[in-house]
Amino acid sequence: MTAKISYADVEVGTELPAQSFPVTRATLVRYAGASGDFNPIHWNEKFAKEVGLPDVIAHGMFTMAEAIRVVTDWTGDPGAVVEYGVRFTKPVVVPNDDKGAVIEVSGKVGAKLDDNKVRVDLTVTSAGQKVLGMSRAVVRLA
Protein backbone atom coordinates (compact mmCIF):
# COMPACT_ATOMS: atom_id res chain seq x y z
CA MET A 1 0.00 0.00 0.00
CA THR A 2 1.62 3.23 -1.16
CA ALA A 3 -0.44 6.39 -1.21
CA LYS A 4 1.25 9.13 -3.22
CA ILE A 5 0.15 11.85 -0.79
CA SER A 6 2.16 12.31 2.39
CA TYR A 7 0.45 12.76 5.76
CA ALA A 8 2.92 15.51 6.60
CA ASP A 9 1.85 17.49 3.53
CA VAL A 10 -1.84 17.80 4.39
CA GLU A 11 -3.67 19.74 7.04
CA VAL A 12 -7.27 20.12 8.11
CA GLY A 13 -8.95 22.03 5.29
CA THR A 14 -6.66 20.75 2.51
CA GLU A 15 -8.85 20.46 -0.59
CA LEU A 16 -8.79 17.47 -2.89
CA PRO A 17 -9.09 18.07 -6.65
CA ALA A 18 -12.84 18.23 -7.40
CA GLN A 19 -14.31 16.13 -10.22
CA SER A 20 -17.54 15.91 -12.25
CA PHE A 21 -18.97 12.58 -13.31
CA PRO A 22 -21.52 12.47 -16.13
CA VAL A 23 -24.26 9.83 -15.93
CA THR A 24 -26.63 8.90 -18.74
CA ARG A 25 -29.18 6.13 -19.14
CA ALA A 26 -26.49 4.09 -20.89
CA THR A 27 -24.23 4.52 -17.84
CA LEU A 28 -26.98 3.14 -15.62
CA VAL A 29 -27.65 0.11 -17.81
CA ARG A 30 -23.96 -0.66 -17.78
CA TYR A 31 -23.73 -0.24 -14.01
CA ALA A 32 -26.79 -2.45 -13.54
CA GLY A 33 -25.03 -5.24 -15.41
CA ALA A 34 -21.71 -4.81 -13.64
CA SER A 35 -23.23 -4.60 -10.16
CA GLY A 36 -26.11 -7.02 -10.59
CA ASP A 37 -28.64 -4.40 -9.42
CA PHE A 38 -31.46 -4.62 -11.95
CA ASN A 39 -34.07 -2.65 -10.00
CA PRO A 40 -36.26 -1.13 -12.77
CA ILE A 41 -36.27 2.32 -11.11
CA HIS A 42 -32.78 2.64 -12.64
CA TRP A 43 -33.77 1.97 -16.26
CA ASN A 44 -37.57 1.91 -16.70
CA GLU A 45 -39.15 5.38 -16.76
CA LYS A 46 -42.70 4.05 -16.62
CA PHE A 47 -41.95 1.95 -13.56
CA ALA A 48 -40.04 4.79 -11.85
CA LYS A 49 -42.99 7.15 -12.27
CA GLU A 50 -45.46 4.54 -11.07
CA VAL A 51 -43.59 4.33 -7.75
CA GLY A 52 -43.63 8.10 -7.36
CA LEU A 53 -40.20 9.11 -8.68
CA PRO A 54 -39.86 12.07 -11.07
CA ASP A 55 -37.96 9.91 -13.59
CA VAL A 56 -35.33 7.17 -13.73
CA ILE A 57 -32.78 7.64 -10.94
CA ALA A 58 -29.14 6.56 -10.65
CA HIS A 59 -28.22 3.68 -8.36
CA GLY A 60 -27.22 5.14 -5.00
CA MET A 61 -24.27 2.76 -5.08
CA PHE A 62 -23.20 4.21 -8.46
CA THR A 63 -23.05 7.68 -6.91
CA MET A 64 -21.16 6.25 -3.95
CA ALA A 65 -18.68 4.58 -6.34
CA GLU A 66 -18.08 7.86 -8.22
CA ALA A 67 -17.69 9.99 -5.09
CA ILE A 68 -14.81 7.93 -3.68
CA ARG A 69 -12.86 8.43 -6.92
CA VAL A 70 -11.99 11.93 -5.72
CA VAL A 71 -10.19 10.21 -2.84
CA THR A 72 -8.67 7.26 -4.74
CA ASP A 73 -7.43 9.49 -7.58
CA TRP A 74 -5.83 11.73 -4.95
CA THR A 75 -4.03 8.93 -3.10
CA GLY A 76 -3.35 6.85 -6.22
CA ASP A 77 -3.84 3.67 -4.21
CA PRO A 78 -7.51 2.72 -3.68
CA GLY A 79 -6.38 0.17 -1.10
CA ALA A 80 -5.44 3.08 1.16
CA VAL A 81 -9.15 3.63 1.89
CA VAL A 82 -9.84 2.12 5.31
CA GLU A 83 -13.35 3.41 5.87
CA TYR A 84 -16.07 4.88 3.65
CA GLY A 85 -19.66 5.72 4.47
CA VAL A 86 -22.51 7.77 2.99
CA ARG A 87 -26.15 8.63 3.53
CA PHE A 88 -28.40 8.65 0.48
CA THR A 89 -30.31 11.90 0.87
CA LYS A 90 -31.68 12.72 -2.60
CA PRO A 91 -31.83 10.70 -5.80
CA VAL A 92 -29.80 11.63 -8.89
CA VAL A 93 -32.48 12.03 -11.55
CA VAL A 94 -31.29 10.95 -15.01
CA PRO A 95 -33.35 12.25 -17.94
CA ASN A 96 -33.57 10.28 -21.19
CA ASP A 97 -31.47 12.57 -23.37
CA ASP A 98 -27.87 12.64 -24.55
CA LYS A 99 -26.80 14.80 -21.59
CA GLY A 100 -28.21 12.86 -18.64
CA ALA A 101 -27.08 14.19 -15.26
CA VAL A 102 -23.79 15.24 -13.69
CA ILE A 103 -22.53 14.25 -10.24
CA GLU A 104 -20.22 16.91 -8.77
CA VAL A 105 -17.82 15.82 -6.06
CA SER A 106 -15.46 17.88 -3.92
CA GLY A 107 -13.61 16.88 -0.80
CA LYS A 108 -11.41 18.26 1.92
CA VAL A 109 -9.50 16.93 4.86
CA GLY A 110 -11.81 17.14 7.87
CA ALA A 111 -9.47 15.69 10.49
CA LYS A 112 -5.99 14.27 10.91
CA LEU A 113 -6.10 10.97 12.76
CA ASP A 114 -3.43 8.68 14.19
CA ASP A 115 -1.39 6.17 12.20
CA ASN A 116 -1.05 8.50 9.15
CA LYS A 117 -4.81 8.43 8.58
CA VAL A 118 -6.97 11.39 7.62
CA ARG A 119 -10.71 11.80 7.37
CA VAL A 120 -11.91 13.26 4.09
CA ASP A 121 -15.32 14.94 4.02
CA LEU A 122 -16.99 14.77 0.61
CA THR A 123 -19.62 17.08 -0.84
CA VAL A 124 -21.68 15.39 -3.54
CA THR A 125 -24.31 17.26 -5.54
CA SER A 126 -26.35 16.90 -8.73
CA ALA A 127 -28.43 19.66 -10.30
CA GLY A 128 -27.47 21.88 -7.36
CA GLN A 129 -28.84 19.49 -4.73
CA LYS A 130 -26.89 17.52 -2.19
CA VAL A 131 -27.38 13.84 -3.09
CA LEU A 132 -25.15 12.25 -0.44
CA GLY A 133 -24.95 13.30 3.20
CA MET A 134 -22.45 12.31 5.89
CA SER A 135 -20.15 11.28 3.07
CA ARG A 136 -16.83 10.53 4.71
CA ALA A 137 -13.79 8.43 4.01
CA VAL A 138 -10.82 7.56 6.18
CA VAL A 139 -7.67 7.03 4.16
CA ARG A 140 -4.12 6.09 5.15
CA LEU A 141 -1.50 8.37 3.64
CA ALA A 142 2.21 7.80 3.12
Partner 1 sequence: MALDQSFVGRSYPPTAPYEVGREKIREFAEAVGDTNPVYTDAEAAKALGYPDVIAPPTFVFAVTFKAAGQVIEDPQLGLDYSRVVHGDQKFVYSRPVHAGDRLTVTSTIEGIKSLAGNDILDVRGEVHDEAGEHVVTAWIKLVARAAEEA
The residue ranges that bind partner 1 (CB under 8 A) are 1-2, 21, 27, 30-31, 33-37, 60-62, 64-66, 68-69, 72-73, 76-79, 81-88, 134
Tell me how far, at minimum, the Cβ of 24 lies from partner 1, in Å: 11
For residues 26 and 43, what is the distance between their CA atoms, to the nearest angstrom?
Answer: 9
Q: Rounded to the nearest whole angstrom, what is the least distance from the CB of residue 32 to partner 1 in the complex?
A: 9
Find the shortest distance in angstroms from Cβ 58 to partner 1: 11
**C-beta closer to partner 1: residue 7 or 13:** 7
